[in-house]
Amino acid sequence: MSSPALPVSPPIADPAPPASPAEIDLSCRWPVGLLLFCASGWLLFAGVVGALATIKLHAPGLLAHWPMFTYGRIQPAAWNAFVLGFGLQAGLGIALWLMARLSGATLVGTGSIILGTLTWNAGLKVGLLSVLMAGGTGMETLELPRFAVIILFVGYALIAAWPLVVFQRRRRGDVYPSEWFFVAALFSFPWLYLAGNCLAVWYPLRGVLQAAAQAWFTHGLFVGWFGFLTIGVALYLLPKISGVALPSRNLAGFGFWLLAVFGFWGGAQRYFAGPLPAYLTAQGVVATVLTVFPMIAIGLLVWPVVQTSRKAIFSVPAGRFAVAGLGSFLAWGGLAAINCLSPVRAITQFTLAIVALDHLLLWGAFGLTAIGACYYLAPQVIGRELPFAGWISWHFRLATAAVLLHVIAFGVGGLIQGAGLENPDKPFIDVMRGWIPFAGMGTLAMTLQAVGGLLLFANVVAAVVAQARAAVVPVAQEWLAPGAPRAEVRP
């Protein structure tokens, strides 16, 4: 968004010519490769544990003797594994690589990023273990106990400082729109997570204000991390794959700022008709409806790109993933706006339909886009084609089918559940039995996601192993060759 008042090309920190893509990829190899590896592992884990949690909805007796597998523990574990395991690490990995590529500067701080990734994973593992062993905080999306969250913060600081450093050392005058979204997301997350944890868990506010802080955090995370990254990645991938430029930089800026202004205000509608003051939930409704406008702007921005080069985009798996992901995001915006209107919300409140909406954003919008981006950047970062490239199309089919199935099943099941809850003459048990079949479809969807996660994980692991072999085997052969210097036996 270059307004005439600003200089057209502002002073840049490093006037050297942009680094070559090969140089940048090489600088990203270890840190981004490690983040990708961990993220894909957590995607698989979240799929498996998510399937297990969904099974508990329709087969509550499963593993009932194990406190660890009770729904109230395994569901937050699955949720956090996706949000903090896959969502944060895939987002950071993609942001590191794209920031370096878009800024034309090589990645710096490699060791710190690797250390940060290991720290982050350690914190997440002890945190999830603690949730499974009765240590959850009881605040949705803020379940991890304090000691784990502190480890996560250390890890995040060690990683997320560097894309900002790269941004500051950029060698291109123009900042690409994706970079706005990445900078915003990288900055929003720590603020949201720290403020959310402080005010809802560590030093809780009084009474329902904890719920207000939690709702603010959750919605902020949805828009400020998952939403921003989805858009940022799609705005890079689609023009890149198709070779068609975005039609308007100003429209991108309009969408970005409107989303930043309205997006963070939508949280309180999660407690519609609850004990929060009505003006808070009303604020949430207004903000959620207004968020439709930036969504329209983003849609208008991307539509010409997709329209003019449909073939090129759909011929690359990452393009298909990005279109499906961005489509899910725009659908989420529209459905969230409809959902928060009070006649609709009176039906959907407390039902599976709310789960469906969250799923559409997390697994649909962000999940699809990020998986596509992982497939796109993995070969370039690892420096070798993925060994099972044929599986990528299958992963796309599995993941989109899973999102569609989950959202439709839980959406319809939620509406049936909500209509039943609203009818006081219908016995409560009948209402509960009514949505059981839809929960079964959710299990199928999560199983498909788990299988898809396995395809990505296997691809990444196999590529890393192949690359490591390619690096190690020649050296070993050289060392062990007949003519190689020998260590003679000494007298």
Residue 77 CB, nearest approach to another protein (Å): 10
Which distant-in-sequence residues (6+ apart) come within 8 Å of 315 by Cβ? none
Conformational region of residue 134, where left means phi above 0, alpha means psi within -120 to 50, and beta covers everything else: left
- Cα–Cα distance for residue pair 309/316, rounded to 1 Å: 12
Residue 474 as a binder of another protein (CB under 8 A): the answer is no
Three-state SS letters, 191-210: HHHHHHHHHHHHCCCCCCHH
Per-residue x/- mask for another protein, residues 218 to 237, rule CB under 8 A? --x---x-------------
* Choice from 42, 120, 167, 226 touching another protein (CB under 8 A): 167
Per-residue x/- mask for another protein, residues 357 to 396, rule CB under 8 A? ----------------------------------------
Q: What are phi and psi for residue 359, nearest 5 degrees?
A: -65, -40
Is the separation of the CB atoms in 156 and 190 below 8 Å? yes
Which CB, 117 or 417, lies closer to another protein?
A: 417
Residue 437 as a binder of another protein (CB under 8 A): the answer is no
Of residues 1-30, those binding another protein (CB under 8 A): 1-2, 6, 9-10
Which CB, 204 or 334, lies closer to another protein?
A: 204
* Choice from 14, 18, 23, 71 touching another protein (CB under 8 A): 71
- Cα–Cα distance for residue pair 177/231, rounded to 1 Å: 10
Which two three-digit tokens encode residue 106? 């090589």
For another protein, which stretch binds (CB under 8 A), given 87-95, 236-244, 306-314, 417-425? Answer: 417-425
Picking from 383, 385, 384, 406, the residue whose alpha carbon sits closest to that of residue 452 is 406
Residue 52 as a binder of another protein (CB under 8 A): the answer is no
Which two three-digit tokens encode residue 304? 């010409």
- Cα–Cα distance for residue pair 120/113, rounded to 1 Å: 10
Residue 275 as a binder of another protein (CB under 8 A): the answer is yes
* Choice from 158, 268, 370, 407 touching another protein (CB under 8 A): 268
Residue 275 CB, nearest approach to another protein (Å): 5
Which CB, 280 or 323, lies closer to another protein?
A: 280
Which two three-digit tokens encode residue 277? 């003051």
Picking from 45, 42, 52, 41, the residue whose alpha carbon sits closest to that of residue 75 is 52
* Choice from 210, 248, 308, 467 touching another protein (CB under 8 A): 210
Residue 346 as a binder of another protein (CB under 8 A): the answer is yes
* Choice from 19, 199, 241, 322 touching another protein (CB under 8 A): 199
Which two three-digit tokens encode residue 75? 């569901």
Is the separation of the CB atoms in 442 and 408 below 8 Å? no
Residue 261 as a binder of another protein (CB under 8 A): the answer is yes
* Choice from 49, 184, 361, 378 touching another protein (CB under 8 A): 184
